[in-house]
């Protein structure tokens, strides 16, 4: 009766961590090579914005369908297909110019005229966006399957810290690969790593119900996983495997809880996208930094974000241990976190002292974003049954990516405009100001939409 609990769920969490690491290394290669590629192919800020927006737009639309795809196909197969698609998408960036030469005459026939290189990179980013859209719906769904509610924000914080590791690994490796082997091999080598992960996923991942049957986990862990859910565990796992759990999107959009998550993603995801794709551009504009010069500052900044990701996942657990219920603990943690990005307002005024001031201050802001994100994702599995977690995550993710498209296009236009006027710093002042206040604004709207914890039980 006092059986010692197995801990296989943390093996699953490790798999999610490495997948998310690969995900962020793949998407960051372009931004790290932007200073070189923009000179090689003569891109304007708007050209680069069009390329990054293509990824974000495709990622946004695909996220809506990715959640449904994962819910219907199942976590194991769905996640594997996502890795295959985005790994191929990453690798074909190396052939972007050839792809552009092939597609350019076709697009010209429809009156669409763009530089050949831009066309090729847009195509590659579309492919990458389709595949990468499967990562977070799959990971959040897996977390809901394998962790009790009280541990989900911690598990989410741990696997989401893979984004930070990926953001650290990328600047330490991509410029070196590009310098010694050529920019094309940076995309090829990084993209190929995803296929290695699939081997481990196929071997180690099964539903808790199946691994209980196989003897890989014991009843103590299985019961612990389902200890704070009203869903019948075995019945739910069986339905998940058979694909019986299907709920229409329109029904999900009828809930305030869905719109709370959508609002949180729309107002804050764009901040992360902005820093991910435009921070190397900022460092080049202000300090003339390119290539391997970007390695150390970006590695330091994204190392800081790991603290936020894991600490943000731990913070609501602290409040729960103090006697708070899950939703008040989550929202209390999120309002505390939302205050920290305000330091980004100081990044530009202090930038004349040293580039380390904006790096450290923006690092605090991105660290807060990851802490926020760990809790925001978990609000879905807190309030929705497991069968729709990936679908709701996909809807919110789409909203976040659309906001990423908007901020990238606005940024590209703004930087071109103010660069022409001779004071590009005005563009950064406006963008940094929004990045600083976005989280407080999002929290207030989320609290208005869902003032008290109200789990969905009628679907």
The domain that contains 301 carries what CATH number? 1.20.1250.20
Q: What is the per-residue DSSP string for 151-204?
A: HHHHHHHHHHHHHHHHHHHHHHHHHHHHHHH-HHHHHHHHHHHHHHHHHHHHHH
Contact criterion met (CB below 8 Å) for 127 and 85: yes
Residue 410 and residue 266 in one domain: yes
Residue 440 and residue 397 in one domain: yes
237: confidence class by pLDDT, cuts 50, 70, 90: very low
- Residue 82 or 306, more confident: 82
Judge whether residue 372 has pLDDT over 90: yes
Residue 260 and residue 364 in one domain: yes
Q: Residue 118 has what pLDDT? A: 92
195: confidence class by pLDDT, cuts 50, 70, 90: very high
Residue 205 and residue 301 in one domain: no
Residue 254 and residue 365 in one domain: yes
For residue 311, is it within any domain?
Answer: yes
CA–CA separation, 75 and 137 (whole Å): 9
**Cα separation values, 42 from 30, 58, 82, 387, Å:** 15, 24, 33, 48
Token pair 């708007």 in the structure block, residue: 46
Closest CA to 392 of 403, 401, 383: 383
Residue 193 and residue 263 in one domain: no
User: What is the percent of the chain where pLDDT is above 70?
Assistant: 95
Q: Residue 2 has what pLDDT? A: 60
In this structure, what are the phi and psi dihedrals at residue 218, rounded to the nearest 5 degrees?
-105, 175
The secondary structure of residue 6, as a DSSP letter, is: P
Torsion of Cα atoms, 138 then 139 then 141 then 143, to 10°? 160
CA–CA separation, 128 and 121 (whole Å): 10
Q: Which tens digits make up the pLDDT trace of 395-443?
A: 888 899 889 889 988 988 888 888 888 888 898 999 999 999 999 999 9
Contact criterion met (CB below 8 Å) for 28 and 170: yes
CA–CA separation, 193 and 180 (whole Å): 19
End residue of a domain, out of 227, 242, 275: 227
Residue 380 and residue 411 in one domain: yes
Lowest mean pLDDT among 107-111, 155-159, 184-188, 245-249: 245-249
Contact criterion met (CB below 8 Å) for 394 and 332: no
Residue 205 and residue 292 in one domain: no
Q: What is the per-residue DSSP string for 28-51?
A: HHHHHHHHHHHHHHT--HHHHHHH
Q: Which tens digits make up the pLDDT trace of 52-77?
A: 888 888 888 887 788 778 878 888 88
Residue 334 and residue 412 in one domain: yes
Residue 312 and residue 410 in one domain: yes
Burial class for 218, CB neighbours closer than 10 Å (0-12, 13-18, 19+): middle
Judge whether residue 15 has pLDDT over 80: yes
- Split into its structural domains, the chain has a count of 2
CA–CA separation, 114 and 200 (whole Å): 41
Q: Residue 235 has what pLDDT? A: 44
CA–CA separation, 287 and 295 (whole Å): 14
Residue 222 and residue 254 in one domain: no
For residue 434, is it within any domain?
Answer: yes
- Residue 168 or 98, more confident: 98
Q: Two tokens at 382? A: 């807190």
Residue 79 structural domain: 1-227
Judge whether residue 1 has pLDDT over 80: no
For residue 240, is it within any domain?
Answer: no
CA–CA separation, 373 and 371 (whole Å): 5
Residues 6+ apart with CB under 8 A from 154: 310, 313, 314, 317
């Amino acid at each position: 009766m006092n059986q010692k609990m197995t801990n296989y769920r943390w093996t699953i969490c490790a798999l999610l961590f490495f997948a998310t690491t690969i995900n962020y290394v793949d998407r960051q290669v372009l931004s790290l090579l932007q200073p070189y590629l923009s000179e090689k192919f003569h891109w304007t800020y708007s050209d680069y914005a069009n390329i990054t927006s293509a990824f974000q737009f495709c990622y946004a639309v695909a996220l809506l369908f990715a959640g449904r795809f994962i819910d219907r196909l199942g976590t194991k197969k769905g996640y594997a297909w996502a890795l295959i698609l985005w790994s191929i998408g990453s690798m074909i960036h190396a052939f972007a110019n050839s792809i552009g030469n092939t597609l350019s005459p076709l697009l010209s026939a429809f009156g669409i005229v763009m530089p050949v290189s831009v066309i090729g990179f847009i195509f590659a980013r579309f492919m990458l966006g389709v595949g990468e859209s499967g990562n977070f719906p799959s990971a959040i769904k897996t977390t809901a399957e394998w962790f009790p509610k009280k541990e989900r924000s911690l598990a989410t914080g741990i696997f989401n810290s893979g984004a930070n590791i990926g953001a650290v690994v990328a600047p330490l490796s991509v410029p070196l690969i590009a310098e010694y082997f050529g920019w094309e091999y940076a995309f090829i080598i990084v993209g190929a790593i995803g296929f290695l992960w699939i081997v481990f996923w196929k071997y180690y991942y099964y539903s808790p119900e199946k691994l209980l049957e196989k003897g890989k986990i014991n009843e103590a862990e299985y019961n612990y996983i389902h200890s704070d859910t009203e869903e019948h565990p075995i019945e739910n796992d069986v339905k998940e495997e058979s694909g019986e759990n299907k709920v229409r999107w329109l029904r999900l959009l009828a809930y305030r809880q869905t719109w709370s998550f959508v609002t949180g993603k729309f107002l804050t995801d764009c901040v992360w996208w902005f820093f991910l794709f435009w921070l190397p551009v900022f460092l080049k504009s202000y300090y003339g930094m390119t290539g391997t010069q970007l390695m150390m500052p970006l590695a330091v900044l994204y190392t800081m974000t790991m603290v936020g990701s894991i600490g943000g996942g731990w913070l609501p657990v602290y409040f729960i241990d103090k006697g708070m219920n899950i939703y008040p603990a989550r929202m209390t943690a999120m309002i505390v976190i939302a205050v920290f990005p305000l330091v980004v307002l100081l990044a530009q005024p202090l930038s004349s002292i040293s580039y380390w001031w904006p790096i450290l201050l923006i690092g605090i802001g991105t660290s807060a974003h990851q802490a926020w994100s760990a809790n925001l994702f978990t609000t879905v599995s807190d309030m929705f049954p497991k069968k729709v977690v990936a679908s709701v995550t996909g809807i919110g993710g789409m909203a976040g990516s659309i906001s990423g498209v908007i901020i990238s296009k606005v940024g590209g236009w703004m930087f071109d405009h103010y660069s022409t006027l001779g004071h590009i710093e005005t563009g950064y002042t406006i963008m940094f100001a929004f990045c600083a206040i976005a989280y407080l604004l999002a929290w207030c709207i989320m609290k208005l939409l869902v003032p008290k914890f109200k789990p969905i039980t009628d679907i």
